[in-house]
Structure 1
């Protein structure tokens, strides 16, 4: 119960009803205001983004899509690479000598190993490929020629024995290298009955951190059939080798022979690329034939010469190559 302004007493239920009415009025006013604002916005003209345009900000790194028409012709598509062109990286000069030394015999029959060492040194090679080399044979003073020549040049050396000497010792091929020799393998080649045993000497060299295969060849001199069998075997052996390579020696075959046709499927003959003249190598005095060769794959021929030594019945081959120790640099090519 309560009193009104005239002093009359007001029933309690009237007072409570009035309080409820005031509360409802306070809630209704904001609702009306919000509703009015909503309908007022609907009456305003709107500006809509084109279809496909994101309504919010474009995320970093993304591209917004627009359906607006573009002007001008469409750009041509980029061409597709059809292959690659590779060139050698930085090149190291590599000088290679191949020489059939005839067991260091001079024209008078004397053994001139010291003269041979001085001669080789004067040519300033990095790698030397030798044929007809003796080791501990009586006829040449029981000297290990490969080891002796290596010491004189300050090179590493290895010997490939193919035959036993009549009075002991051995006969075969050898390799001398300014660079470390990582591995060596000597493979005996097929021969006919009565023929001399020949072999293929293979060494892997560490040339400033890059591997290079070096091969020494000496084929049978009396039989084309034997040489064909030997060069075919060499082709099979070398085909397994993925490394850049140089191959040199006495092939006992003329440039136009079937033997050399097979040899050129193994590696490239250096002389026609950078040599001058016919490149004749035998006999040493007034040569009439070319039977000694330097072949290569993965090297860049720079120069090649035939040198006349003071001993042996052959002339020597000298070649300079560029050898990439950093691999090839390849760029895409477009057809």
Structure 2
């Protein structure tokens, strides 16, 4: 009887060990932050992996920037998937494999050169309920207006649920004016605190950023945080924000100097309240 029980237990354990979950993540290669109640977030427009002044993709350089910053969550913009210009690479998947941030979600904005281009999220925490939302747009005469999207997902950090969201807003103020309310409407459906970031194509004193502030979002950058161009930057277009105001405390915000893209990445460390 004892032998039968032991064999039964061993058989059960073997079955359990062979059935993982799609949310299981690999060791990202670094230790937890010193304070377990913090989260480090990066936003980075990678220009399809092309360094400033170049059209040749160098994802290895982008991965190196991410690894050095050791973020928990990364918001990426201008990410290609199977396009000719990027050597038919699935850039988000490759960056996930290279950095060890194995939870990821891609959001297609448009079809391009036999593939897609869009935005994505990398995370060391499992992503739950990832969603892609198309943002509104209006044509401006004969000027082409590209489609823009928002990607969202939920993560759990030390037992607390957080909604994360990434976007790349339109170049024109007319389109951003209708995209900001739609983003707020979507994110307001979440009962969780929200961390939101991306390339917003707007300066801090613009109506775009003012609108986010009026909706209750708070920027992690408190002073001049110029992010473009990567050589002698002279304006801020890339942001990390959160709401409500009492959900996080900004411990640090940094713009990382690097020439791997035409934008500089921004990194914020947030204390979870």
- How far residue 91 of structure 1 moved from its aligned partner, in angstroms, is 6.0
Judge conservation of contact 1:134–1:171 (CA < 8 Å) in 2.
yes
Partner of residue 304 from structure 1, selected from 231, 246, 253: 253
Map Cα deviations across residues 157-212 of structure 1 (whole Å, 9 max, x no partner): 110111101x2111111000011111201100011222100011101112233211
Match of 1:293 among 239, 244, 254: 239
Larger Rg: 1
Contact 2:231–2:259 under 8 Å retained in 1: no
**Cα offset, 1:300, TM superposition:** 1.7
Equivalent residue, structure 2, for 1:212? 162
1:252, distance to aligned residue in structure 2 (A)? 0.7
**Matches of 2:36 and 2:86 in 1, distance apart?**
40
CA RMSD of aligned residues (A): 1.4
**Given the alignment, which residue of 193, 196, 202 partners 1:253?**
202
Provide the residue aligned with 2:152 in structure 1: 202
Q: Which residue of structure 2 lines up, in the alignment, with residue 161 of structure 1?
A: 108
Pick aligned residue for 1:226 from 175, 191, 207 = 175
Q: Is the 8 A contact 1:239 1:266 kept in 2?
A: no
Aligned match of 1:34: none
Whole-Å separation in 2 of the counterparts to 1:168 and 1:123: 33
Q: Following TM superposition, by how much is the alpha carbon of 1:237 offset from its aligned partner in structure 2, in angstroms?
A: 1.2
Which runs of structure 2 are paired with 1:1-335 in the superposition (5 Å)? 92-107=37-52, 108-155=54-101, 156-165=103-112, 167-193=113-139, 194-221=144-171, 223-264=172-213, 265-272=215-222, 277-297=223-243, 298-324=247-273
Which aligned segments of 4 or more residues in structure 1 are displaced greater than 6 angstroms? Answer: none
Across the two proteins, how many residue pairs are aligned to each other? 229
**Mind listing any 5+ residue stretches in structure 2 that lack a counterpart?**
1-34
The answer to whether the 8 A contact 2:111-2:117 is kept is: yes
The gaps in structure 1 that reach 5 residues or longer are 1-89, 325-335
Equivalent residue, structure 2, for 1:65: none
Q: Hey, what does 1:77 align to over in structure 2?
A: none
Q: Equivalent residue of 1:152, what SS?
A: helix
The answer as to whether partners of 1:164 and 1:170 remain within 8 angstroms in 2 is yes
Q: Does the residue aligned with 1:262 lie in a helix, a strand or coil?
A: helix
* Alpha carbons 1:150, 1:176 under 8 Å: kept: yes
Task: Give the Cα–Cα distance (whole angstroms) in 2 for the partners of residues 318 and 235 of structure 1.
Answer: 22
Kept in 1: contact 2:199–2:239 (CA 8 A): yes
| Structure 1 CA distance for aligned equivalents of residues 252 and 202 of structure 2 | 23
In 2: Cα distance, 1:278 partner to 1:303 partner:
14
CA apart distance, 1:138: 1.1
How much does 1:258 deviate? 1.0
Q: TM-score, normalised by structure 1?
A: 0.66
The residue matched to 1:164 in structure 2 has which SS?
strand
